[in-house]
Amino acid sequence: MEEKEYKGFTPDYIDRLLPNQIFVFGSNVLGYHTGGASGTARKKFGAVWGQAEGLQGQCYAIPVDFGKGIRKDTEVKASVEKFIAFAKENEQLFFFVTRIGCGIGGYRDDEMAQFFKDALFVRNICLPKSFVDALKGGEVTFDLDRFLKAQDSEMYTYADALNEIKAGHKQGHWIWYVFPQIKGLGHSYMSEFYGISSKEEAKAYLQHPALGKRLRDITQALLDCNNPSAFNVLGFPDVLKVQSCMTLFDIVSPKDIFNDVLDKYYEGKRCERTKRRLDGREEKAKNVIKTSRLTITKNYTIVLTDYQKEVKMEPIVKAVYILFLKHPEGIVFKHLPDYRTEMVDIYQKIKPLGLTERAIRSIEDVTNPLLNSINEKCSRVRAAFQSEVDPTLLEQYIIMGKSGEAKKIALPRDLVVWE
């Protein structure tokens, strides 16, 4: 970002900084800088993995994410005050504050802005326009032009999206700005940038003369296409993103066309995560964290359904996990040789092109209780879930058990869905 681009507000997108400029972003309490602004901070500006707060490289972290559904306003306020004091002590630096906490953190712009009221007139702190609008008592305006620019760009336009839906098969990469979701459901830059921040922004989107009409038109095309399955039209995970989008706009515009899509393709089921982000203030105050259903798709993709996240594992680790998932009673490691044939069958379903010599050796090793292979695979299962679920829920999803006893996955099997 060049100096001449600075116009008084933090730009929506920052991909480069001058030597004295600092990128201020919201971190989770563990300092795991994965997606959105925190991912940008790590990839471009030197954010340190595992450091949740303070100056690091050319950025400054403020912890705002304390786990799914948890808000700690006192801690956030203290961290913001610490940041403001740091900025005042380092006048040689200039701080660009991003819309921290307004994604995964679950705050609205006007809520988060209140923590920064003492920064409004600090010479070397720049705030997002939405924060400034809220602090000055004006109406918060929404940057809906970002959707128009994307929909009318040279690649993956709205017209392309509409034609693909009419044909009954999505192919391009346009889901974020054509069927927008509530902000905070995803971790990627695209999901953050095109996320809808609140009911108010969703209403403004529907009332926009171009965007509202386009959303209704492509939603009608989805209803009219000949394909009876939303999964076949959209694929995974976009089928879940559209459910989230329809839920969002059904909430702000009931008995509209969005309800028809939910009835036709989703058995009338709304996206629970979207509902919680919009109306879950009491649930957040009570620190209630919901355990997600676990879906095993036909092609053996492992999905945290309610979080809209895929849990990625290499084939042999996934085969081990599915073996234990199929045996809620648990498996004693010394009896693993008895499950070797079943492991082969599971592996072949995950990798249908056939067993290689390497795969056969891996299966033999992992079902040999005299080797450490099974413990190593269980550790990889833990690592796969560790980045996707709240720490308080981790033990429900991983393979655990006392030494010498049956190891098992504690997740209630009524939360496991086999497609």
Per-residue pLDDT of the chain (419 residues; tens, 9 = 90+): 333 333 468 887 787 889 999 999 999 888 888 777 888 899 899 999 989 999 999 999 999 987 766 778 889 999 999 999 999 999 999 999 998 988 767 788 888 999 999 998 888 999 988 888 888 775 566 778 889 988 998 788 999 999 999 988 899 999 999 999 988 777 677 887 788 878 888 999 999 999 999 999 999 999 998 788 889 899 888 999 999 999 999 999 998 999 999 999 998 898 988 888 776 443 343 444 678 899 999 889 999 988 778 899 999 999 999 999 999 999 999 999 999 999 999 999 998 877 888 899 999 999 998 999 999 999 999 989 987 888 778 889 999 988 888 999 999 988 999 98
Measured from the Cβ of residue 192, the count of other Cβ atoms closer than 10 Å reads: 24
Domains in the chain, start-ordered, CATH in brackets? 3-135 (3.40.220.10), 145-285 (1.25.40.380), 294-418 (no CATH)
Buried b (16+ CB within 10 A) or exposed e, 63-88: bbbbbbbbbbeeebeebbeebbeebe
CA distances from 301 to 15, 87, 282, 350, 419 (A): 33, 46, 34, 9, 10
Tell me the per-residue pLDDT of 65-116, one tens digit each, with 9 for 90 and over: 877 667 788 899 999 999 999 999 999 999 999 989 887 677 888 889 999 9
| pLDDT at site 308 | 77
Q: Is the pTM of this model over 0.75?
A: no
**What are 181's two structure tokens?**
């979701």
Peptide bond into 237 cis (omega under 30): yes
* Structural element, H or E, at residue 366: helix 357-366
